[in-house]
Amino acid sequence: MKDDSWASWAEARLRRDWPTAVEMSIADMEIARWHPNGFVVFRLGEVVDGRFGGSHRLHVWPGGIPRQSLPGHPTIHSHDWELQSLVLQGTYVDVIFEQADIGPDALALLSHIVKYDSEVGDSIRPTEDTMRLSRRESRAVEKGGSHHMDIGVFHETVVPASETVVTYVMMSPRQETGMMLLGGEPFAMTSFRRPALIQTEREHIESVLLAIARNGSRTSRG
């Protein structure tokens, strides 16, 4: 039976289009921005294909150079969109959490609300609500593998600082609920604008992407 889901469509597009996405990123390194959790994001625009659509991005966790992150920013989070991701280099590792009111490993975490605003910058504010989570599973996805994240699933990416990981990502249209950040301590910020890469960072990440492009070209020629 044919899988007619958004995730299936997204994976097919990722596997077909990743060389173009890498080329787009190399051609316009100025669009790259550091995410507060210490990885680089290339926002590549919207994709519309029949009844499915989304936005595609390239994510880079660079190894060998310091990663810019925002100290104290919550790392456990959920999305208000579906996400499909294809690993282009390295091993992507994350931890999936589930709600657990009792248990020796349950974490009591404070929820935070995030608001994105391209004009004045992003903001985060803590709420008075707490949630208890426990680890459900840890995933390690090798180069060439794909993984899916559903709306509202709490997770945390744990790529070691010494490792380089690159993923090509498709995000579904956003829903009204599902986005939340969870942290052990309250964290607040306003008018935060994600920093661009400095010259040395840009050169390093460009070299990573150029290597992926060259290897992909050799693979396609057999």
pLDDT tens per residue across all 222 residues of the chain: 457 899 999 999 999 999 999 999 999 999 999 999 999 999 999 998 888 999 999 999 999 899 999 999 999 999 999 999 999 999 999 999 998 876 667 889 999 999 988 888 999 999 999 999 999 999 999 999 999 999 999 999 999 999 999 999 999 999 888 789 999 999 999 999 999 999 999 999 999 999 999 987 544 333
User: In this predicted model, what pLDDT tens digit does every residue of 24-33 receive, in sequence order?
Assistant: 999 999 999 9
User: In this predicted model, what pLDDT tens digit does every residue of 186-195 receive, in sequence order?
Assistant: 999 999 999 9
Q: How many CA atoms lie less than 13 Å away from 81 in the CB half-sphere?
A: 14
CA distance 213 to 202: 16
Site of tokens 């248990």: 103
CA distance 179 to 169: 17
Instruction: For the chain, state the CA radius of gyration.
Output: 18
CA distance 217 to 58: 18
Q: What is the pLDDT of residue 103?
A: 67
Instruction: Looking at 82-170, list the stretches that DSSP marks H as alpha helix, in order from N- to C-terminal side.
Output: none
